[in-house]
């Protein structure tokens, strides 16, 4: 099977493509409804897709939105990754990450004059692991406290995007009646990881992750903040 990744404006999606996205979400999440899915999708700017070449079958996607917040010392932007799912057959593929990286690089170049972060919410340790793999500095993390300014950025983004569901004391989006949660069999697989400090930190910081709580995280999107693996994925020498 040959697959490719691409990014498209949400407004360009056809009805059948939205239906395919919802079907993929429903297969992997419980508590989801078509209305909540459509409401969340309409709030996003882009969708990063993984499709099978030839047939065009959707194999994964991640919705994206460019957020803006204002702090006392100026404006901050953040690329927020929302609903994200990849079919099990593609868990070893880098197609989705590669397409997302191209979008991130375009935004990095377009917003050189202001700070740009990646705003990621993590319901499973598998997601959290993207941060130490691809970024030198990110927060929160096990080996250093989140600095005051980064904490303000996290709180501002969390409140703006999630309102009362955001728990500022712990930096977590709490599960609520409108939340949808990974199905137990998917969560079990996503939680398998090497028992290292990153894994332990995530479990300790977000002990209710299996019930749907999500840990809010940020990483500065700059070339100098990328690890060697991050530079390779994004395509920077």
Residue 116 has a pLDDT of 96
Q: Based on the number of CB atoms within 10 Å of its own CB, is 61 exposed (0-12), middle (13-18) or buried (19 or more)?
A: buried
Is 79's pLDDT higher than 90?
Answer: yes
pLDDT (average), residues 73-100: 86
Element (H, E) at 234: helix 228-234
Would you place residue 16 in the very low, low, confident or very high pLDDT band (cuts 50, 70, 90)? very high
User: How many whole angstroms separate alpha carbon 41 and alpha carbon 38?
Assistant: 5
How far is C-alpha 4 from the geometric centre of its chain's CA atoms?
19
DSSP states of 180-193: -EE-HHHHHHHT--
Mean pLDDT calculated for residue range 98-119: 91
Most confident of 85-99, 175-189, 214-228: 214-228
For 82-92, the pLDDT digits (tens) are 988 888 777 76
Residue 142 has pLDDT above 90, yes or no: yes
The number of residues making up the chain comes to 237
Binned at pLDDT 50, 70 and 90, residue 180 comes out as confident
pLDDT attached to residue 133 = 92
Residue 38: is its pLDDT beyond 80? Answer: yes
Strands 214-220 and 115-122: antiparallel
At 94, is the secondary structure helix, strand, or coil? coil
Residue 187's pLDDT is 57
Q: What are the residues whose beta carbons fall under 8 Å from the beta carbon of 189, sequence distance 6 or more?
A: none
Peptide bond connecting 140 to the previous residue in cis, omega within 30 degrees of 0: yes
Q: Are strands 46-52 and 29-30 parallel, antiparallel or unpaired?
A: unpaired
Alpha carbon distance 145, 89 (integer Å): 37
pLDDT, residue 87, reads: 83
Domain residue ranges in the chain: 63-234
- Give the pLDDT confidence score for residue 194 in this predicted structure: 65
Tell whether the model's pLDDT for residue 26 goes beyond 70: yes
Indicate the pLDDT class of residue 95, thresholds 50, 70 and 90.
confident
Q: What is the pLDDT of residues 183-196, one digit of tens each?
A: 766 654 445 556 78
């Amino acid at each position: 099977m040959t697959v490719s990744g691409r990014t498209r404006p949400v407004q360009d999606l056809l009805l059948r493509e939205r239906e395919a996205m919802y079907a993929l979400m429903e297969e992997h999440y419980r508590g989801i409804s078509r209305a909540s899915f459509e409401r969340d999708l309409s709030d996003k700017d882009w969708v990063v897709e993984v499709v099978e070449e030839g047939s065009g079958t959707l194999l994964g996607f991640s919705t994206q939105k460019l957020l803006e917040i204002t702090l006392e010392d100026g404006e901050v932007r953040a690329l927020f990754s929302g609903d994200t799912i990849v079919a099990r057959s593609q868990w070893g593929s880098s197609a989705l990450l590669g397409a997302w990286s191209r979008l991130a690089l375009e935004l990095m170049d377009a917003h050189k004059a202001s700070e740009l972060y990646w705003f990621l919410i993590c319901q499973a340790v598998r997601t959290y692991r993207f941060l130490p793999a691809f970024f030198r500095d990110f927060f929160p993390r096990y080996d250093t406290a989140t600095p005051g300014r980064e904490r303000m950025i996290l709180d501002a983004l969390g409140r703006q995007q999630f309102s009362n569901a955001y728990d500022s004391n712990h930096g977590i989006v709490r599960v609520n009646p409108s939340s949808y949660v990974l199905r137990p069999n998917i969560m079990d697989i996503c939680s398998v990881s090497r028992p290292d400090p990153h894994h332990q930190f995530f479990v300790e910081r977000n002990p209710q992750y299996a019930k749907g709580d999500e840990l809010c995280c940020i990483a500065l999107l700059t070339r100098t903040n990328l690890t060697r693996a991050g530079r390779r994925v994004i395509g920077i020498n």
